[in-house]
């Protein structure tokens, strides 16, 4: 199956789950995660009209996307991977949304880059819901402090993001992320939830995901 056919399949699935969840289809954004896939593999999705993409490495995105953006209008590029503070400026220049704000040092680096570039890229705060440090994410106990600092530094926040442990049932972690968002969002319904990947996006939508990050279901397995 090519990626354009896979996109139709995934889209139908999203619509079906939205009907069950009594949610509006437009409230769920499908981020096509194109990491490791070359421009050739991405183009069928662009040609089919898809415009929302995710990458997990700044350098890889910088190599692939400027040329694609010249050929297709309206591309929105999201950084979904861990971000080193020394790449904050490159990330701010290249991406439209950052999903991996997770610590004060990165927050500082982003604020500095935003001031320099005159551009404030909105962020999701990544939460370490599974207490797995190697995946990044802010510890739940540190979340209030990080959110307060983001406000001080005038970093626009879109909501919370998580990657649940691969070997556990994801639903409780998705529910927890939703609970944390409701507790901390500035007003009811203000925040989105970036959660759900190829294997579990239906569950994530049932539990309120607004941004699902889907790679292998669209592009096939990564080599």
Ligand X SMILES: *Cc1c(COP(=O)(O)O)cnc(C)c1O
Residue ranges in contact with ligand X by CB under 6 A: 33, 35, 56, 80-81, 163, 197-199, 213-217
Nearer to ligand X by Cβ, of 81 and 192: the residue is 81
CA distance 46 to 112: 33
> Least distance in Å: CB of 220 to ligand X?
9
Q: Which is nearer to ligand X, 144 or 165 (CB)?
A: 165
94: left (phi over 0), alpha (psi -120 to 50) or beta: alpha
Which tokens hold the place of 131? Answer: 């207490």
Smallest separation (angstroms) from ligand X to the CB of 215: 3
Q: Which is nearer to ligand X, 36 or 85 (CB)?
A: 36
Nearest residue to 202 (alpha-carbon basis) of 8, 6, 15: 15
User: What size, in residues, is the chain?
Assistant: 223
Q: Which is nearer to ligand X, 35 or 87 (CB)?
A: 35
Query: Which segments within 8-117 are labelled E, that is strand?
Result: 29-33, 52-55, 76-79, 97-101
Query: Least distance to ligand X from the beta carbon of 38, Å?
Result: 16
Q: Which residue is nearest to ligand X (CB)?
A: 215
Q: Minimum CB separation from ligand X for residue 217, in Å?
A: 6
| C-alpha span between 61 and 49 (Å, rounded) | 20
In the complex, least distance from residue 45 CB atom to ligand X, rounded to whole angstroms: 14
CA distance 201 to 142: 27
Q: What are phi and psi of 171, to 5 degrees?
A: -55, -45
Residue 181 or 194 with smaller CB distance to ligand X: 194
């Amino acid at each position: 199956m090519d990626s354009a056919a896979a996109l139709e399949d995934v889209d139908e699935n999203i619509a079906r789950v939205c009907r069950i969840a009594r949610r509006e289809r437009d409230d769920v954004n499908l981020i096509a995660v194109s990491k490791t896939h070359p421009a050739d593999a991405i183009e069928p999705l662009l040609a089919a009209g898809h415009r929302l993409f995710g990458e997990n490495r700044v350098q890889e995105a910088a190599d692939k996307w400027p040329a694609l953006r010249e050929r297709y209008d309206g591309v929105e590029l999201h950084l979904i991977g861990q971000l080193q503070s020394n790449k904050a400026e490159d990330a701010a220049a290249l991406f439209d949304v950052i999903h991996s704000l997770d610590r004060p040092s990165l927050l500082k680096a982003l604020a500095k880059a935003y001031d320099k570039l005159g551009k404030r890229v909105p962020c999701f705060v990544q939460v370490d819901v599974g207490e797995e440090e190697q995946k990044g994410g802010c510890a739940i106990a540190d979340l209030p402090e990080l959110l307060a600092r983001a406000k001080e530094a005038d970093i626009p926040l879109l909501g919370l993001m998580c990657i649940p442990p691969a070997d556990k049932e994801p639903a409780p972690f998705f529910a927890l992320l939703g609970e944390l968002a409701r507790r901390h969002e500035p007003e009811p319904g203000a925040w989105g939830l970036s959660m759900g990947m190829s294997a579990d996006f239906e569950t994530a939508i049932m539990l309120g995901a607004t941004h699902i990050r889907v790679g292998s279901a669209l592009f096939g397995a990564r080599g």
